[in-house]
Amino acid sequence: MFGFRTDAPHVQRELRTCALLFLVVISLAGTVLAQCPTPDKDPNFIAGRPGPVQKSPDDDPPLPEAGFLSNTHYTSQFFGFAFDLPLTVQGHEIMMPVMPEKQHALLALQYEKGDRNGYIMVTASDPRPGEQINLPDKQEDELERWNNAGSYGGINPSPVPRFMLRSGQRFYSSTHRNGRNYAAQYWAGINNYMVKVVIGTNDEEFLRKAKDLMAEARFYCPQPDGTLITAEGKPVKPEGHAYQGPTVPTVLVNAAIREEPGKEIPAGQLSAGTYRNSELGLQYQLPPGWEKLAAEQADPPAEPSSLRVYRFLHACSRTLLEIAPHRKPQAGSEPGPVIVLRALDPDCLSLPTAASLTDKRAADTVAASLEEMDEFGQIASDELVSIHGHLFMIFHGTFSTSQRTEDLGMRMSQTIFATRYKKYLLMWSVLAPNRDALAEVPTSNILFNGSPPIQLRASLETKK
């Protein structure tokens, strides 16, 4: 009669492992609603995503910001949760500055109605040092250390391994009040990330609705191919369109700052009053009496968040030309009109550009993005115009000269003409001391390969 020996070392180890796993399951049964499948022993397993990964080298995993958004519903594709929204998306989206290096903005909405206001914001923080990778061999090592320490019993048990505490099946919450203002915060640890939902308002009805909807949040299991399933294996079809948050995904910002693709934008050259950039297929004739300004690189901002925005913008763009009317410098004289020509890489900036005269949403998004970049002033309105087959986004607003220097600045009127040509977004920023002076600034001729000369301001006048 055959049997097995329980005193064999490997058998004892297996029994201990089974015992501690049983105890962990029992201890967590009252708090965990359901569990996604645990990762198989697959060397291609991607941190932060459960299950074995079957992917080609060209497939990129979803970014932490990846999700789906409809007018009334949000789903996180990366973290695998979803909830109905306490306010509609249309008319309530807000643009956020780029996030710090290890922070991610997933969603941001706000409203104002009379003296009532409220917002909902969803963010996530990267795993803490040493917890970035959920590889099966690391989990096995961590479980073995926990086992050897006698952690399922004893007086001072060690903490349960974090990969076993998959708290992403519920949100914990707290609510605080300060006078008429309320703040409700929800949080969950999902695959070592910390996901937070913050609701702020002075409207009790909005707060109550938001809390009711958060109580009904649903959790799913992200799959290697970017799809979602329930804990029982049923496929989930998210509502809405693909969405990557209210600002540029953090991973893309980090990559842009590191690689600086803007350095590849050809500089062009100025000769005999004409700027030529053959690689971009662009020629720009300076207005009569205008000249190139001496290159003066302003000092980067010292404040960390502003510095990160500055580095991101300059990593993805290049100032090609800055011109002004020729005049003798006078002490204490006010700034005169200026035209700045820039080339931006919209792919690097994750900046959607308008594709047709009816694409107002894209133009509005570009306007909001430019405002968040600090160097384009405040934009009050935008419009779309087609000139000789080239679609221009035109932005009207103001610019404070203190954004360029530390001196006490003045507010200048500004019009920005922007058009997508080949792979770049070309932008002419026209500034003048006031609106009347701005209307008098000549923009001269722009020539693209194979197209008639374009005089921006004259062309606009004929369109009206």
**What are the pLDDT digits (tens) for 341-355?**
999 999 999 998 999
C-alpha of 53 from chain center = 26
Four-point Cα dihedral 225, 227, 228, 232, nearest 10 = -70
For residue 129, what pLDDT is reported? 67
Average pLDDT over residues 103-114: 96
Residue 165: pLDDT over 70: no
What local confidence, expressed as pLDDT, does residue 138 receive?
58
pTM for the structure as a whole: 0.77
Q: Which distant-in-sequence residues (6+ apart) come within 8 Å of 329 by Cβ? A: none
Q: Does the pLDDT value for residue 156 go beyond 70?
A: no
457 in the Ramachandran plot: left (φ > 0), alpha (ψ -120 to 50) or beta? alpha
Contact 390, 415 (CB under 8 A): no
Residue at 71: amino acid letter: N
Q: How many residues does the chain have?
A: 464
* Closest listed residue to residue 197, CA positions, set 76, 50, 30: 76
Instruction: Say if CB 165 and CB 96 are below 8 A apart.
Output: no
Contact 172, 187 (CB under 8 A): yes
Per-residue pLDDT band for 192 (boundaries 50, 70, 90) equals confident
Sheet containing 445-448: give its strands across: 269-271, 274-277, 282-285, 445-448, 454-455
pLDDT over 70 (residue 144): no
Q: Once rounded to an integer, what is the mean pLDDT over residues 149-167?
A: 46
Neighbour-count burial for 47-77, b at 16+ CB within 10 Å, e otherwise: bbbbbbbeeeeeeebbbbbbbbbbeebbbbb
With beta carbons less than 8 A apart as the criterion, state whether 300 and 307 touch.
Answer: yes
For helices 9-28 and 136-148, what crossing angle results, to 10°? 100
Lowest mean pLDDT among 195-204, 281-290, 333-342, 374-383: 333-342
